[in-house]
A and B are shown apart, each in its own frame.
Chain A
Amino acid sequence: MTPDLHLWLIPVLPLVGAVINGLFGKKFSQQTIAGLALLFSGAAFAVVLSVAFRFSALATPHTETLATWIRAGSFQADFAFYLDHLSLVMLLVVTGVGFLIHIYSVGYMGEEGGFYRFFAYLNLFMFFMLTLVLASNYLLMFIGWEGVGLASYLLIGFWFTKDTAAAAGKKAFIVNRIGDFGFLIALFLLIKHFGSLNFEQVAQRVSPLNPETGGAGLLTAIGLLLMVGAAGKSAQIPLYVWLPDAMEGPTPVSALIHAATMVTAGVYMVSRSHLIFERAPTALTVVAIVGTLTALFAATIGVTQTDIKKVLAYSTVSQLGYMFIACGVGAFSAAIFHLMTHAFFKGLLFLAAGSVIHAVSGEQDMRQMGGLRTKIPWTFWTMTVGTFAIAGIPPFAGFFSKDEILWRAYQASWVYWAIGLFTALLTSFYMFRLWFLTFFGVYRGAAEASDEDAAPHGHGHGGIHESPMVMVIPLVVLAVLSVTGGWIGVPASLGGSNRFGKFLGPTFESTTPGLKAGPGAASQVAPPGKESEQPEPQTGGASEVALTGISVSAALIGFGLAWLLYYRNPRLPQQIASRLGGFYRAVVNKYYVDELYAALFVKPLIAGSALILWHGIDQDVIDATLDNSAHGANEVSDSIRHMQSGNLRSYAGWVAAGAALVIVYMVWVGTR
């Protein structure tokens, strides 16, 4: 076994930071708080790096058991950490991006109240996320799973005095509950049928099973339930509704939790249990379909949004949809690849957006911006990089990952590919729309005029200004990553060798060769020999290149449209909108999904609980019981309280009488 890696340090360090800041932060100065938070998150990052450098020398997967947590009969769950290629990648992403965003937050939250609260929550989130990633069994994973939910709730509702923020926090939490419910049931099924939640043991017991080609089965059920959980956490249809609202939180939070790390937990979980999915084609199909629909759906909404963060939120949802497409076609490494790149450029985009908002004093409506290109050059350029990356323009990171996903989707079924492609077009369109609206044209905002505008962020110093260095540096770093991040996964067809895919190979190669057909089986059109994780150049290299060209052109078309509509003649959008009419309104209103849910679930639930639980059970049963018993006791004691006359001799009389009774009883018993 490998010498002690001290994996436990990785989650515990942020926890320490969280505890210190959370308990004593009130007293500290901002420098102290920021210093502590950075120190501990940075330390975690450092540990991860050291692990990463020694990784090649390690015997993986490497398990580090700290303590036995639950032992019930044959079932056992430990506090154990599990390190393999997948979790290493996740660790790097989480700690790296997390650390950068910590730095960014120091500048961004500078003028906010509850500075210590923010960083305590942030570190807490890091702790739970790392636990989630490092867990060696589903149960510990679930702890982290719930924990990040909690942290996101706390951070979304960070400005808890704002009703919308509080409501958004609650919404996120509740919607996640639904997903967690599915996840939990899946865990129960696992315990029931495999008697363990440990990844390795589950793997051992699953691998011998054959894929359930013939419709549904146990694994399918588990897979679907896991997917429900993933959908909840990763904002997939039908549970995506919380994510856009989550933008009520501070922008760094949106960047870290709701773009880079937490929302990808679902993807991670699905890939982590790929063995189960590979053996449940139906579930895989569902995953793929859900992903596809979500991608398209969110993208269309994103086109019409005007709030800069909302746009990014919907693009996040749609990108997550991409990842699920990848999972659904069995291209888990591709999913993780996209996850990583997405973490980079989406984190970058959010931070940049935050910097923009910072610059225009809290304004979030793109229609109030424009022409910022010259005023905030750093932000502009980094944002540009991010936009190109997400739009999938080579050689930026997004291009490679998205391209690989599309390619694998095409292998699975041209339907996925087509929709994905259209989504890519939409993506580049609305991203460039955002880009143009924000940075080009003339400034349409009011921040210049009035120096004191109490925007929700309340950056009192009016005037458009570039963000401080502490915010810019993370932007630059992430920008660099967004450019270069993709290069580790250059597909063979483009003269690269998909190193990333190879790296993740050991984790994702199916334990029994015969099961390579998993993804193929997912879609009945599996062409033979396309199942291995890395796309082989000799087969379909040409077609892959062709597809790449098509996707790139799609991105360019999107760019062109955006240029046409929002730079060349900005009148056009209105006319188109009016032309589209009802459909446009529906899209603007996010297809009325929230209203639909409210009508379908929320209102009936509230009404029902008010009627049955509140009035029926709580008032008429529980309260009534208590009240009546208390009332009865009151009356009884009121009648017999006169026994307590306060007269000593009366008490003595009672005692003597009682003693006499006892004596009589004893004598009666004794002489019987």
Chain B
Amino acid sequence: MLHLILFLVFGAVCVAGAVNLLVQRHPINGALSLVVVMGSLAVEYLLLGAEFVAAVQVIVYAGAIMVLFVFVIMLLNAGEEERTRGSKVAMLFGVPGMLVGSILIGWVLIERGSGAAVPAGALPGAPKVIGWLLFHDFLLPFEVTSILVLIAIMGAVVLASHPDTDQGRKEG
């Protein structure tokens, strides 16, 4: 019961945040609403028993990635976005397509979705277990992603460094 209530509440918060991201014109509000979405998603994870995932969600997504976004928004001092009408396609095909697709999927989920219910903390994603999986079964993907991150760091440094001065590179 409590479980369902919590789910509904934070689900509502989630959706609200997402919709807010859509309607807000200022990127910083979008970023903050996204942070809200992520926070409530962390709670959903907790409800699903994935406590470690929840913690990492908060630390990595809300605590690092979104801070990066906010940082960039502040740095570029991005203002209100002006509603230019650059693309008819997006409106003519994209939005209807998205609607059709999501409606269909929702219908499938409701009609054909298994009614299987998960009790709170059904599957305790304890850090030990996750770590075991990560470093035994998924060792190779783990290492590969590490390389990916390394490359990403270098790419970011090179891209963001000032082309004229070498200052940016020194910073990185």
List of A residues within 8 angstroms of B112 by Cβ: 670-671
Q: Which of B5-13, B44-52, B57-65, B89-97 faces chain A?
A: B89-97
Residue pair B92, A663 in contact (C-beta under 8 Å) = no
List of A residues within 8 angstroms of B94 by Cβ: 649, 652-657
CA distance A661 to B90 in the complex (A): 15
Q: A667 on the interface (CB 8 Å rule)?
A: yes
Known: A657-B94, A663-B105. A649 touches B87 (CB 8 A): yes
List of B residues within 8 angstroms of A664 by Cβ: 100-101, 104
CA distance A667 to B105 in the complex (A): 8
Q: A161 on the interface (CB 8 Å rule)?
A: no
Q: A538 on the interface (CB 8 Å rule)?
A: no
What 0/1 pattern do residues 3 to 29 of A give for CB contact below 8 A with B?
000000000000000000000000000
List of A residues within 8 angstroms of B97 by Cβ: 653, 656-661
Q: A68 on the interface (CB 8 Å rule)?
A: no
B82 → chain A, closest Cβ, in Å?
14
Which residue, A647, A663, A670, has most C-beta atoms of chain B within 10 A? A663
CA distance A667 to B100 in the complex (A): 11
A649 → chain B, closest Cβ, in Å?
4
Q: A639 on the interface (CB 8 Å rule)?
A: no
Q: A650 on the interface (CB 8 Å rule)?
A: yes
Q: B144 on the interface (CB 8 Å rule)?
A: no
List of B residues within 8 angstroms of A654 by Cβ: 89, 93-94
List of A residues within 8 angstroms of B93 by Cβ: 653-654, 656-657
List of A residues within 8 angstroms of B89 by Cβ: 645, 647, 649-650, 653-654
Residue pair B87, A660 in contact (C-beta under 8 Å) = no
CA distance A649 to B94 in the complex (A): 9
Closest to B98 in A: A656
User: Which A residues between 598 and 650 are near B, CB-CB below 8 angstroms?
Assistant: 645, 647, 649-650
CA distance A663 to B96 in the complex (A): 13
Residue pair B104, A667 in contact (C-beta under 8 Å) = yes
List of B residues within 8 angstroms of A656 by Cβ: 93-95, 97-98, 101
List of A residues within 8 angstroms of B91 by Cβ: 653
Q: B108 on the interface (CB 8 Å rule)?
A: yes
Known: A653-B94, A656-B93, A656-B94. A663 touches B86 (CB 8 A): no
List of A residues within 8 angstroms of B95 by Cβ: 653, 656
What 0/1 pattern do residues 96 to 119 of B give for CB contact below 8 A with A?
111011001100100010000000
Known: A667-B108, A670-B108. A649 touches B101 (CB 8 A): no
B47 → chain A, closest Cβ, in Å?
28
List of A residues within 8 angstroms of B87 by Cβ: 645, 647, 649-650, 653
Known: A656-B97, A659-B97. A649 touches B104 (CB 8 A): no
List of B residues within 8 angstroms of A653 by Cβ: 87, 89-95, 97
A650 → chain B, closest Cβ, in Å?
4
CA distance A271 to B100 in the complex (A): 85
User: Which B residues between 50 and 95 are near A, CB-CB below 8 angstroms?
Assistant: 86-95
- Give the size category of A's interface with B: 10 to 19
B99 → chain A, closest Cβ, in Å?
8
Known: A653-B91, A653-B94, A654-B93. A660 touches B86 (CB 8 A): no
CA distance A652 to B90 in the complex (A): 7
What 0/1 pattern do residues 110 to 137 of A give for CB contact below 8 A with B?
0000000000000000000000000000
Residue pair A647, B86 in contact (C-beta under 8 Å) = yes
List of A residues within 8 angstroms of B105 by Cβ: 663, 667
Which residue, A650, A653, A667, A670, has most C-beta atoms of chain B within 10 A? A653
List of A residues within 8 angstroms of B92 by Cβ: 653
User: Which B residues between 119 and 165 are near A, CB-CB below 8 angstroms?
Assistant: none
CA distance A653 to B86 in the complex (A): 12
- Contact residue among B90, B100, B101 (Cβ-Cβ distance under 8 Å from A650): B90
CA distance A663 to B86 in the complex (A): 27
Residue pair B90, A659 in contact (C-beta under 8 Å) = no
CA distance A656 to B90 in the complex (A): 9
Residue pair A663, B90 in contact (C-beta under 8 Å) = no
Closest to B108 in A: A667
Which residue, B86, B101, B112, has most C-beta atoms of chain A within 10 A? B101
List of B residues within 8 angstroms of A670 by Cβ: 108, 112
Residue pair B90, A649 in contact (C-beta under 8 Å) = yes
Closest to B111 in A: A671
CA distance A659 to B108 in the complex (A): 16
User: Which A residues between 482 and 496 are near B, CB-CB below 8 angstroms?
Assistant: none
Closest to B91 in A: A653
CA distance A655 to B93 in the complex (A): 9
Closest to B105 in A: A663
Residue pair B90, A660 in contact (C-beta under 8 Å) = no
CA distance A501 to B86 in the complex (A): 98
B93 → chain A, closest Cβ, in Å?
4
List of B residues within 8 angstroms of A649 by Cβ: 86-87, 89-90, 94
CA distance A657 to B88 in the complex (A): 13
CA distance A658 to B92 in the complex (A): 13
Residue pair B108, A660 in contact (C-beta under 8 Å) = no
CA distance A655 to B92 in the complex (A): 12
CA distance A660 to B96 in the complex (A): 9
Closest to B93 in A: A657
A167 → chain B, closest Cβ, in Å?
61
CA distance A647 to B94 in the complex (A): 13
A347 → chain B, closest Cβ, in Å?
70
List of B residues within 8 angstroms of A663 by Cβ: 100-101, 104-105
A527 → chain B, closest Cβ, in Å?
89
List of B residues within 8 angstroms of A659 by Cβ: 97, 101
B143 → chain A, closest Cβ, in Å?
31
List of A residues within 8 angstroms of B88 by Cβ: 650
List of B residues within 8 angstroms of A645 by Cβ: 87, 89
A507 → chain B, closest Cβ, in Å?
67
CA distance A649 to B93 in the complex (A): 11
Which residue, A645, A658, A660, A661, has most C-beta atoms of chain B within 10 A? A660
CA distance A654 to B91 in the complex (A): 10
B87 → chain A, closest Cβ, in Å?
4
CA distance A660 to B101 in the complex (A): 5
Closest to B99 in A: A660
CA distance A246 to B98 in the complex (A): 79
Which residue, A645, A650, A661, has most C-beta atoms of chain B within 10 A? A650
CA distance A657 to B96 in the complex (A): 8
A15 → chain B, closest Cβ, in Å?
48
CA distance A656 to B87 in the complex (A): 14
List of A residues within 8 angstroms of B100 by Cβ: 660, 663-664
CA distance A658 to B90 in the complex (A): 12
**A: which residues have CB within 8 A of B?**
645, 647, 649-650, 652-661, 663-664, 667, 670-671
A-B CB contact pairs (8 Å), 6 listed: A647-B89, A650-B88, A652-B90, A656-B98, A660-B97, A667-B105
By Cβ-Cβ distance, the 8 closest A-B pairs, closest first, are A653-B94, A660-B97, A653-B90, A657-B97, A657-B93, A650-B89, A653-B89, A649-B90
In the complex, besides A657-B93, A664-B104, 13 extra interface pairs with C-beta distance below 8 angstroms are A645-B89, A647-B87, A647-B90, A650-B90, A652-B90, A653-B95, A653-B97, A654-B89, A655-B94, A660-B98, A663-B101, A663-B105, A670-B112
